[in-house]
């Protein structure tokens, strides 16, 4: 039984734990070129490609077009299912010279639907190869590799890096926005593990980027690369030995949340760097801790003792497993769904008043068929050993990422969803006194105001300079992209 099934079985019918989403970014160019409707045009592009070019109505089109966030429709005029770097280059040159709107897509997990387009979708999801070099400890991933490919390939050689837990998420979207995971407090963000990447820029040229070659673009790609500068066809990462024994856990309380939540908010940020944890509180009144510890169950219980002193958990699953078996327990398939997520970074422990605000909003949720939750991902540790300007990822020194996730289904009518969206906006604003105005770009949010400052802060001007150098025509653009 998987983690979700286990929790649902224990908590009983009618009680489900909102386990959160996952994400990456993409791009959605503006206006549709008149050439999009030309069948002759698409036939000409197909002749340049090894992989197929799918049009509406063809087998496989709907599968590739369906976004992770079903709240956004996606009906591209054509989908290039690229089989090689040359295919990607041909698509970029073709779209650029003809003014065709395009979008790059790997996992398609843009929270705001920015991996959707009405033009050409350049899909690299079949380019999933992973090569590991035991001599250097480096792993080279093709641009379409997903977390599932990382699990399978690095699991076979006993290595790891900072990866996501949603298996269907593309590594491209993950790393280019920074990349969070349960390893980040030990090994840094996914982008901190990156040592080399290859990217097709607007000219169609393939550039290698690292600390020596195109180092300014390499800097920008580590935290601000999604959809802004080009299409990445490979990523090379430092890897680390996978733990022979790792403590994984999922612990839930159904009562005493008024005491548990403020205690967790002051206790958990002081824990050792080997703790990777997500706390969530749902509109059903369930507080859950999910994560891993590079330590023993006894050490975990010592960390959580202030919570255990308040109340005995209603559900407690703690197990010592080999690293990759533990990740299977913690993983989430990341199936397509209707959702809207809004994030904020916190740089100081949240006061008791924050817990009151959180619980009040959750208790007055107007309702959808799937509910909502507030959560945080514990930050700090190795993330903070990198200066805010050393990579484009500026949010160094943060205590945690605070996030509100709203979920609904096709059974909810428009009025109900609109009321829930109003609740989400009010909740997001109410958290302002307890957080910074910085937001996580991999939880990209189309309703976020002042989004460039929120995502990139003091690094924004430098990012504009890189944009002007590598994409002066602003070919790679979407509603929240970095402008020239």
Q: What is the pLDDT of residue 195?
A: 98
CATH number, domain with residue 175: 3.30.465.10
Mean pLDDT of 207-227: 98
Q: In sequence order, what DSSP letters do the residues of 294-317 get, joined into one string?
A: SS-HHHHHHHTHHHHHH---SEEE
| Cα–Cα–Cα angle for 330, 334, 337, rounded to 5 degrees | 140
Mean pLDDT of 220-239: 98
At residue 41, does pLDDT exceed 60? yes
pLDDT level of residue 38 (50, 70, 90 thresholds): confident
Query: 93, 123, 153: which is the final residue of a domain?
Result: 123
pLDDT level of residue 37 (50, 70, 90 thresholds): low
Rounded distance between C-alpha atoms, residue 264 and residue 287, angstroms: 10
pLDDT level of residue 36 (50, 70, 90 thresholds): low
Same domain, 53 and 180: no
Q: What is the helix (H) or strand (E) element at residue 194, kind and residue range?
A: strand 194-200
Same domain, 151 and 41: no
At residue 463, does pLDDT exceed 60? yes
Q: What is the helix (H) or strand (E) element at residue 53, kind and residue range?
A: strand 53-54
At residue 226, does pLDDT exceed 60? yes
Same domain, 369 and 463: no
Q: What backbone torsions phi and psi does residue 130 show, to the nearest 5 degrees?
A: -130, 125
Q: What is the pLDDT of residue 185?
A: 98
Q: What is the pLDDT of residue 53?
A: 98
Q: What is the helix (H) or strand (E) element at residue 257, kind and residue range?
A: helix 257-267
At residue 26, does pLDDT exceed 90? no
Same domain, 311 and 429: yes
Q: What is the pLDDT of residue 287?
A: 99
* 34-38, 43-47, 153-157, 340-344: segment of lowest average pLDDT: 34-38
Same domain, 139 and 104: no
User: What is the tens place of the pLDDT at every residue in 111-142?
Assistant: 999 999 999 999 999 999 999 999 999 999 99
Instruction: Pick the closest to residue 222 from 343, 388, 347, 342 (CA basis).
Output: 388
**Strand 315-321 to strand 287-293: parallel, antiparallel, or no bridges (unpaired)?**
unpaired
At residue 30, does pLDDT exceed 80? no
Q: Would 80 be classed as within a structural domain?
A: yes
Same domain, 17 and 72: no
- Reduce the DSSP state of residue 12 to 3 states and report it: coil
Same domain, 158 and 225: yes
Q: Would 147 be classed as within a structural domain?
A: yes
Same domain, 433 and 304: yes
Domain that holds residue 190: 130-242+458-470
Structure tokens at 459: 């690094």
Q: How many separate domains does the chain show?
A: 3
At residue 351, does pLDDT exceed 90? yes
**Strand 120-123 to strand 102-105: parallel, antiparallel, or no bridges (unpaired)?**
parallel
User: What is the tens place of the pLDDT at every residue in 384-421?
Assistant: 999 999 999 999 999 999 999 999 999 999 999 999 99
Rounded distance between C-alpha atoms, residue 164 and residue 167, angstroms: 7
């Amino acid at each position: 039984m998987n983690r979700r099934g286990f929790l649902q079985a224990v908590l009983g019918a009618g009680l489900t734990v909102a386990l959160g989403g996952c994400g990456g970014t993409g791009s959605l160019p503006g206006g549709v070129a008149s050439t999009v409707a030309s069948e002759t045009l698409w036939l000409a592009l197909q002749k340049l490609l090894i992989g197929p070019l799918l049009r509406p109505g063809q087998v496989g089109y709907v599968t590739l077009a369906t976004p992770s966030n079903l709240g956004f429709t996606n009906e591209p005029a054509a989908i290039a299912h690229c089989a090689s770097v040359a295919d990607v280059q041909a698509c970029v040159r073709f779209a650029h010279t003809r003014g065709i709107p395009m979008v790059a897509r790997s996992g398609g997990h843009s929270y705001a639907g920015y991996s959707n387009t009405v033009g050409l979708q350049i899909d690299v999801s079949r380019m999933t190869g992973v090569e590991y070099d035991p001599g250097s400890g480096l792993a080279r991933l093709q641009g379409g590799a997903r977390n599932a490919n990382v699990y399978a390939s690095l699991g076979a050689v006993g290595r790891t890096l900072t990866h996501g837990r949603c298996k269907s998420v593309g590594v491209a979207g993950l790393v280019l926005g920074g990349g969070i995971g349960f390893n980040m407090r030990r090994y840094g963000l996914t982008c901190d593990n990156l040592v080399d990447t290859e990217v097709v820029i607007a000219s169609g040229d393939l550039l290698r980027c690292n600390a020596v070659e195109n180092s300014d673009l390499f800097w920008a790609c580590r935290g601000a690369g999604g959809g802004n500068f080009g299409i990445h066809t490979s990523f090379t990462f430092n890897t680390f030995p996978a733990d022979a024994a790792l403590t994984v856990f999922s612990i839930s309380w159904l009562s005493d949340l008024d005491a548990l939540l403020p205690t967790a908010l002051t206790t958990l940020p002081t824990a050792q760097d080997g703790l990777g944890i997500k706390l969530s509180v749902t509109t059903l009144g369930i507080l859950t801790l999910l994560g891993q510890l590079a330590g023993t169950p006894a050490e975990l219980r010592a960390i959580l003792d202030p919570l255990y002193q308040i109340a005995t958990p209603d559900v407690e699953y703690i197990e010592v497993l080999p690293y990759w078996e533990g990740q299977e327990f913690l993983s989430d398939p990341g199936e397509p769904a209707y959702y809207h997520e809004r994030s904020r970074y916190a740089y100081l422990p949240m006061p008791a008043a924050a817990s009151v605000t959180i619980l009040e909003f959750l208790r007055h949720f107007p309702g959808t068929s799937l509910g909502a939750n507030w959560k945080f991902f514990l930050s700090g540790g190795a993330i903070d050993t990198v200066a805010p300007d050393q990579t484009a990822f500026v949010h160094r020194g943060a205590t945690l990422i605070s996030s509100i996730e709203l979920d609904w289904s096709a059974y909810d009518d428009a009025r109900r969803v609109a009321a829930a969206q109003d609740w989400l906006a009010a909740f997001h604003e109410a958290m302002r006194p307890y957080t910074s105005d910085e937001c996580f770009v991999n939880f990209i949010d189309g309703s976020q105001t002042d989004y460039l400052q929120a995502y990139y802060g003091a690094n924004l001007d430098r990012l504009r300079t890189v944009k002007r150098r590598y994409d002066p025509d602003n070919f790679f653009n979407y509603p929240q992209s970095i402008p020239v």
